A and B are shown apart, each in its own frame.
Chain A
Amino acid sequence: MAEKQPAVRMRHISKSFGQVKANHDVDLDIYGGEILALLGENGSGKTTLMNMLSGIYFPDAGSIEIQGKPVTIASPKDAFEHGIGMVHQHFRLVNVFSATENIVLGLDESEGFDLKAAAEKIHAICEAYGFDVDLNQKVYEMSVSQKQTVEIVKLIYRGADILILDEPTAVLTPQETEKLFAVLRNMRNDGKAIVIITHKLHEVQEISDRVVVLRKGENVGEMITAESTTQQMTNMMVGHQVTLNIERPTPVDPVERIRVKGLTVRDDEGVLKLDDVSFSAFGGEVLGIAGVSNSGQKELLEAIAGLQGVESGSIQYVGDDGQVQELTGKDPYQISSMGVALSFVPEDRLGMGLVGSMSITDNMLLRSFRDGKSIFADRKAPRELAEKVVGDLEVDTPGVDTPVRRLSGGNVQKVLVGREISSSPSVLLCAYAVRGLDVNSSYLIYDLINKQKQSGVAVVYVGEDLDVLLELCDKILVLCSGKVSGIVDARSTTKNKVGLMMTRLKGGEAA
Chain B
Amino acid sequence: MSTNTAHTPQERPAHPARAARGKGRGRRFRLDRLGPLPWIGPAVALIVLVVLWPVYEMVRTSFLKISVSGFVRGSAGLDKYRQLFDDPDLGSVLLATVVWTVAVVTCTMVVSLALAQLFHQQFPGRRLTRWALIAPWAASVLMTAVAFRWMLDRTAGVLNTLMADLGLIDEPKDWLGDPSTAWPWMMAVAVFVSLPFTTYTLLAGLGTVPDEVYEAARVDGTGTWQTYRLITLPLLRPAFLVGVVINLINVFNSFPIIWAMTRGGPDSQTATTTVFMYQLKNNDIGQSAAMSVVNFALVVVLVVVFLWVSRWNKEEA
State yes or no: do A and B come from one complex.
Answer: no
| A binding-site residues for B, Cβ under 8 Å | none
| B binding-site residues for A, Cβ under 8 Å | none
